[in-house]
Structure 1
């Protein structure tokens, strides 16, 4: 199970809503519960003070009452306290409530209107100090689990006392809950806080039936019972709710994670910039002036993790640059793992030759821990999909001693950003006993022993062959056929899918030739450029700027044509460093290293934007790079980033 940030409270999972007004964390003690709406049978939205909550009473735990007055059947808030001692004292109660106040973003004093005690001991009691302290909290109801039943007659106060004859405490999380009297007895439900999605990052809110740390899921991964929209209205119209959750997400649920929602993606996870999005309004990047590009296609996941401190992780995918560019513009941690590291069964595909799954996070330690647990060998892809050799395991466990600085792609365009990069490298080399060496990506490609006589442009052209052929065969063909059969027209699509899905751009023979060229090039690359030694998995680390070199990239297209701004992917320019790992299968992580000022063309004032850098290692060396990330965090070189306008 994941390391839990708070008290492992299942009640802390906030849901997302785009229609409710924003709320503060302040509340007035003993606000009455106000019913707001019933979304479906058993699903209720209510308010306590100015904070809005959700509960699902269909999945309530029902406990039989042995004694005590019934209620009128209305919902009422309660606080559940699980005693770890047979004698509950005032100090114990005060400590527990203090922890709830500090660590649970659902809890506030309004939930103390009823207090519910359970204990795993056979017999338990509240001592005199506890009863006296409870009176100061002014609850109207005291609910006691079966363990307290023998001592209930000794408890007196201004509150009513209900004793339960059966208590399944293991199924009830500690902290804030809601309850009401029903035919079965006292029905107790988990409660969730509703949050406003200010950055418009989410498609759906999802409430969990388990406990753990919270994560969001890009809307190309199947969740049982929910339609996977893949960012396309046409796709949604021909789709049914998924029957099975994708194994990659099932893994996280099995580890104790809690899904809070599905995040927006570009149409079919394409590389579309914000001004191209059609069926879905693009998420807002919370950094700087709020009008910077959120990139694509995992924009919703990156924007959400950069915006909301109640979210711990967000799942995305990377076919071309779809994890790393959103991570760069949002100033968070994100990775393209080694190709083949995670099954993509139950995920809307673009290209099985290059698709990968990744995770965004603000904290380097949590990011690494999550990744180590998630990428299990049991979920590796079959090599028939990747088309690449097996991972090389004949190497030592030491960190590499060289960092390669690609002179054909660096320095960063913004001198202030390059100064941050140089400061970062100075710290890294000193702390890790590494050296910086100049390197030329282009020259290294053209010296590969196989395939013969391929320059950079000819090599990377094979990516387009794999992407377009596989996307048509896996998605486009069936979409067009089903949509035309059902609606009698061609589906509404964005470019380039509008033309690509009409007919295949490349034949099956051309596709297989492209995969073979890539396989040969990857073999040579792993022998001559990024290779293993007896000491380490990857002899060196290559730097990569997948972002804009420290210049703002706006969500409004024309602003990127002006001086001191930049497109993330300049039109007409092929062979960015973001293409290299999709082609060779290597691992590429994006890490935030600082921030720079820029003059905003939207707010007409100085703002700040993140500076990030990519770290590339040989395919299969993910664990080695995670070791390095942890050591850099230990040395205070990599840090946790903030949510909101400023990453640091």
Structure 2
């Protein structure tokens, strides 16, 4: 099928239209494109006032519309004549031509381009100057589940055409998708050029992506990921693609984790609303911490999600969550005094609001008092290699078909970065005996953790989190780094309980780049009972609302306004 996309420059702004018109109504005989703003008016006793309010609302709420579209105005109304006040208002806007059609014409409000063929929706093009996207997309006009990959500028629909409803609560939301998900109409690249060259264009979308589309979301692009969701950390680890930038602070704070593009894009671009990532050991949560945004890993049952190699979601409950115990484990306390102080104040305030007990607990002490008989090692020593050994094994076995098919097709080995090669080498040499031991350790962790730590619906765990590394740092070779260890992410990764990253403030650091003080984000990791995902989200939302605290973050250099200080007085 022959398709075209036309790019139109309007002053300093750029727009795209697709090859087919979106509404066949003919308002001119000219084949040349021109601008038009469409207002859909209901019954009103004062059309001029209604138009004025709509115009103000558009300027405030839509980043696609601009006053240049008012050159020609289309009114969708059953009115057949217009008062002098309406005509004067349109003239003050610079309107040269007024058209009107009956309300039976199902035209959505907002900015358009038009010709003799009909109306074309305006898609605003924004640059990806942080390098967060692998490609941008525009939905197909024939099939809402199919997209076309377009130029590197991200094309966005007007928010004015969104009609939210109970069935489409995400209507108008712009959504970015990590390049581990399949998206019908474009390649899945998994952050690796060799994999992308081998794979065909996807003929179906992953279930999570289809769900977003069914709920009204618009997929605007696929974001970068580290290779196969692995462990690339700094610029030197990235060979196939450019390492995305983190907009926070001086712009050179490290952007970490495999859902790196999803976090980078949300932090940088106010025109983006949601991004989809994946998370095995922290691939959503770590980027959320580094970028100072919300990140959520839902409950899971350990099975694989169809079309994406991540665990399936577990059955959800709508029950509210109001815990009576908040565990604040000593082993995860922050080494940064400002971070720890902020976390202490926030957790104490939440406990006071709930009327709950804040329990400063040592995981090692709890383990030593309750661990099964026959185990002599401490908690962190017992599970030091559990997760990473399973990652080694999974990386090697899951990508076996890719390695084989690439060699068969191209008569050469596929290129992967040095970190991925190291993971493969470790996985190839890992014995089946050790893999079975690691699986047994997962079961041991889960039975103990769910019995002696998060043992009922009355308990949550909170851990302070921050990351202040820099993108221009150099690391030693992968084989010298040491990927062993157990961090707070892994409780949820192994046991399947929900884990929410909540940005709660920011601390100051002296930038070597700018030579001036800058702010880095501070977050809390909140772990809740399995299946109470909605309750966990509701708990945080209700607390923030009750305290008058921000429930959203800013884009750009700071997550919160620099003047905002989360201290005991504000949290009281």
Q: For the superposition of Structure 1 and Structure 2, which TM-score range results when normalised by the shorter chain? A: 0.7 to 0.9
Distance 2:429 2:455 in 1: 35
Task: Pick one of 107, 112, 115 that aligns with 1:180.
Answer: 115
1:540 paired residue number: 459
CA displacement at 1:204 relative to structure 2: 1.1
- Pair 1:93–1:343, CA change in 2 (3 A): farther
Distance 1:401 1:619 in 2: 16
Distance 2:303 2:555 in 1: 28
After superposition, residues 591-606 of structure 1 pair within 5 angstroms as 591-606=502-517
CA displacement at 1:132 relative to structure 2: 3.8
Task: Pick one of 126, 136, 140 that aligns with 2:92.
Answer: 136
Aligned-residue CA RMSD (Å): 2.8
Task: Pick one of 293, 296, 300 that aligns with 2:261.
Answer: 300
Please say which of residues 99-108 and 515-524 is displaced more in the overlay: 515-524
After superposition, residues 166-177 of structure 1 pair within 5 angstroms as 168-169=105-106, 172-177=107-112
CA displacement at 1:57 relative to structure 2: 3.1
- Pair 1:546–1:495, CA change in 2 (3 A): farther
- Pair 1:451–1:617, CA change in 2 (3 A): farther
Distance 1:341 1:491 in 2: 30
After superposition, residues 335-350 of structure 1 pair within 5 angstroms as 335-340=296-301, 344-347=305-308, 349=309
After superposition, residues 263-278 of structure 1 pair within 5 angstroms as 263-275=223-235, 276-278=237-239
Distance 1:607 1:227 in 2: 39
Distance 1:447 1:190 in 2: 65
Distance 1:64 1:342 in 2: 53
Task: Pick one of 117, 138, 141 that aligns with 2:75.
Answer: 117
1:399 paired residue number: 322
1:285 paired residue number: 246
2:354 paired residue number: 432
Per the normalisation by structure 1, the TM-score is 0.75
Distance 1:512 1:77 in 2: 65
Task: Pick one of 581, 604, 609 that aligns with 2:492.
Answer: 581
Task: Pick one of 436, 449, 455 that aligns with 1:525.
Answer: 449
Kept in 2, the 8 Å contact 1:320–1:578? The answer is yes
Kept in 2, the 8 Å contact 1:593–1:613? The answer is yes
Corresponding position: 1:90 with 2:28 = no
Kept in 1, the 8 Å contact 2:298–2:313? The answer is no
- Pair 1:77–1:458, CA change in 2 (3 A): same
CA displacement at 1:324 relative to structure 2: 1.1
- Pair 1:247–1:627, CA change in 2 (3 A): same
Question: For residues 564-602 of structure 1, what are the alpha-carbon distances to aligned partners after superposition, in whole Å with 9 as ceiling and x for unaligned?
Answer: xxxxx9856612222222122222221111111111222
CA displacement at 1:143 relative to structure 2: 2.5
Question: For residues 25-58 of structure 1, what are the alpha-carbon distances to aligned partners after superposition, in whole Å with 9 as ceiling and x for unaligned?
Answer: xxxxxxxxxxxxxxx8431111112211111132
Distance 2:210 2:289 in 1: 28
After superposition, residues 105-254 of structure 1 pair within 5 angstroms as 105-119=63-77, 125-146=81-102, 168-169=105-106, 172-182=107-117, 187-208=118-139, 211=162, 212-254=172-214
Task: Pick one of 314, 334, 345 that aligns with 2:295.
Answer: 334
Corresponding position: 1:62 with 2:62 = no
Please say which of residues 222-231 and 125-134 is displaced more in the overlay: 125-134
Please say which of residues 440-449 and 316-325 is displaced more in the overlay: 440-449
Distance 2:46 2:201 in 1: 48
Corresponding position: 1:44 with 2:2 = no
Secondary structure of the corresponding residue to residue 63 of structure 2: coil
2:344 paired residue number: 422
Secondary structure of the corresponding residue to residue 70 of structure 1: coil
Distance 1:442 1:556 in 2: 36
CA displacement at 1:337 relative to structure 2: 1.8
Distance 2:367 2:299 in 1: 19
Question: For residues 447-498 of structure 1, what are the alpha-carbon distances to aligned partners after superposition, in whole Å with 9 as ceiling and x for unaligned?
Answer: 5555851643333422223222222222x20111011111111111123421
CA displacement at 1:140 relative to structure 2: 2.9
After superposition, residues 310-459 of structure 1 pair within 5 angstroms as 310-340=271-301, 344-347=305-308, 349=309, 355-356=310-311, 380=313, 397-410=320-333, 412-447=334-369, 449-450=371-372, 452-453=374-375, 455=378, 456-459=380-383
Per the normalisation by structure 2, the TM-score is 0.84
CA displacement at 1:513 relative to structure 2: 4.7
2:151 paired residue number: none
CA displacement at 1:106 relative to structure 2: 0.9
Kept in 1, the 8 Å contact 2:466–2:521? The answer is no
Corresponding position: 1:555 with 2:471 = yes
- Pair 1:235–1:335, CA change in 2 (3 A): same
Question: For residues 299-338 of structure 1, what are the alpha-carbon distances to aligned partners after superposition, in whole Å with 9 as ceiling and x for unaligned?
Answer: 1111111111111111111111111111111111112222
CA displacement at 1:91 relative to structure 2: 1.8
CA displacement at 1:297 relative to structure 2: 0.7
Kept in 2, the 8 Å contact 1:78–1:113? The answer is yes
Corresponding position: 1:471 with 2:395 = yes
Distance 2:368 2:433 in 1: 25
1:159 paired residue number: none
Distance 1:304 1:511 in 2: 37
Distance 1:518 1:43 in 2: 51
> Runs of 5+ in structure 1 lacking a partner?
1-39, 148-166, 350-354, 357-378, 382-389, 562-568
Secondary structure of the corresponding residue to residue 557 of structure 1: coil
- Pair 1:83–1:452, CA change in 2 (3 A): farther
CA displacement at 1:509 relative to structure 2: 5.8
- Pair 1:529–1:452, CA change in 2 (3 A): farther
Please say which of residues 608-617 and 53-62 is displaced more in the overlay: 53-62
After superposition, residues 1-12 of structure 1 pair within 5 angstroms as none
